Amino acid sequence: MKLFVVGAGEMGRWLARTLAPALDGVAFADVDPAAAEAATAAVAAPGDDDTTPDGPAADDSDDPVAAGGSPDARTVPLDTDETFDCVALAVPIPAVPDAVEAHAANAATGALVDVSGAMTDPLAAMAEHAEAEYASFHPLFAPPRAPGRVAYVPGEVGAVVEAVRDALRGAGNDVFETTAGEHDGAMATVQTGAHTAVLAYALAAADVREEFHTPVSEPLAELARTVTEGDPGVYADIREAFGGAEAVAEAARELAEADRGEFADQFERARERAGAERRGGRGGNEPPDGRRGADPTGESGDGPRGDR
């Protein structure tokens, strides 16, 4: 299979490497020709020149896909009229509809796919412009954390789309089928909402010694590091595409302004939403009306114990 990757960033490179066992060759194009050249060099010889315009890319020396062999790689102009078996769009979310229209002819007898992260608008554009097969794939992880789950919405499916799907699965990814509406609705929670909550924690958190971290705060701090490793432009695209930030902000405002009874009600709602079972209480000295025990330090066992 001859692959044409439009967008030579981290995701485009990852896709080329992941599909490598099914490829006869790969061509890169990008609005930044230097990025396309760097991706070509990196995919042709992983580890030798694996850099991005923003610095070193993730180390893939232990990646079984990368270690298994490299496809022949080259750079082509963004406006090439060459045709390929598969054209993969790895461009920012807002650019996908225009990229579909611009590159549909490059997949005239093959497949047009995207890995942008949104599905409704890309699939609508592909339904209008694709000349043969098309589908949308969304890896639900950053490339350094592959393999993982990949959402998949079929459009017009044939041998090429099936080969892409099978190669993703062959690399250890869990490819699951969904719809564009279900996917994009879920992203408001699992992407925008989650990112907003994590970034808000990072911005509000004081600088404390590591020894003070709890089983709740420590993973939150680690999640904040994970999120902020990324490109803010990518996260901004996600927020604008799916919404969901305001719901998190409103919930935080309600919690911050709640009195004790309202807080308890919201806590119960959160427990129900999370599907959690209540742990044992604070001990036999817990007053029936929920008032604090005599020792607010928690040292006697009657006071609050936090999230230990």
Structure tokens at 259: 């009195």
Indicate whether 167 pLDDT > 90: yes
Structure tokens at 286: 């817990």
pLDDT at 51: 39
What average pLDDT does the chain have? 88
Tokens 């598969």 found at = 86
The CA-to-CA distance between both ends of the chain, in Å, stands at 54
The mean pLDDT of 158-181, rounded to a whole number, is: 98
pLDDT at 71: 80
pLDDT at 49: 44
Residue 113's SS3 state is strand
The crossing angle, in degrees rounded to 10, of helices 194-204 and 245-257 is 50
pLDDT at 290: 45
**CA-angle at 117, arms to 112 and 118, nearest 5°:** 80
d(CA 3, CA 107): 10
Q: Which of 33-47, 165-179, 187-201, 205-219 has the weakest average pLDDT?
A: 33-47
The mean pLDDT of 196-223, rounded to a whole number, is: 97
Query: Which residues have CB under 8 Å from 130's CB, separation 6+?
Result: 100, 104, 107, 112, 155, 156
Tokens 């609050």 found at = 304
Q: Torsion angle of alpha carbons 167, 168, 172, 177, nearest 10°?
A: -130
Whether cis (ω within 30° of 0) applies to the bond prior to 147 is yes
Closest CA to 290 of 263, 250, 271: 263
22-68 pLDDT per residue, tens: 999 999 999 999 999 999 999 987 654 443 333 344 444 444 344 44
pLDDT at 298: 42
Closest CA to 117 of 100, 141, 134: 141
Closest CA to 88 of 150, 37, 133: 133
Say if CB 308 and CB 215 are below 8 A apart. Answer: yes
Highest-pLDDT range among 245-249, 278-282, 283-287: 245-249
Specify the higher pLDDT residue, 296 or 245: 245
d(CA 224, CA 215): 15
Closest CA to 16 of 29, 3, 7: 3
Q: What are the φ and ψ backbone dihedral angles of 301, each rounded to 5 degrees?
A: 95, -5
Percent of the chain beyond pLDDT 70?
83
pLDDT at 44: 86
The mean pLDDT of 88-116, rounded to a whole number, is: 97
CATH number of the 2-178 domain: 3.40.50.720
Indicate whether 275 pLDDT > 70: yes
The pTM score is 0.83
- Pairing status of strand 55-56 against strand 51-52: antiparallel
**CA-angle at 71, arms to 66 and 75, nearest 5°:** 115
Indicate whether 285 pLDDT > 50: no
Indicate whether 181 pLDDT > 80: yes
pLDDT at 281: 66
Q: Which residue type, as a one-letter code, is found at position 132?
A: A
Closest CA to 89 of 114, 111, 110: 114
Q: How confident is the model at residue 185 (pLDDT cuts 50, 70, 90)?
A: very high
Indicate whether 294 pLDDT > 50: no
Residue 91's SS3 state is coil
> How buried is residue 74: exposed, middle or buried, by Cβ count under 10 Å (0-12/13-18/19+)?
middle
Indicate whether 151 pLDDT > 70: yes
pLDDT at 282: 63
Q: What are the φ and ψ backbone dihedral angles of 154, each rounded to 5 degrees?
A: -75, 145
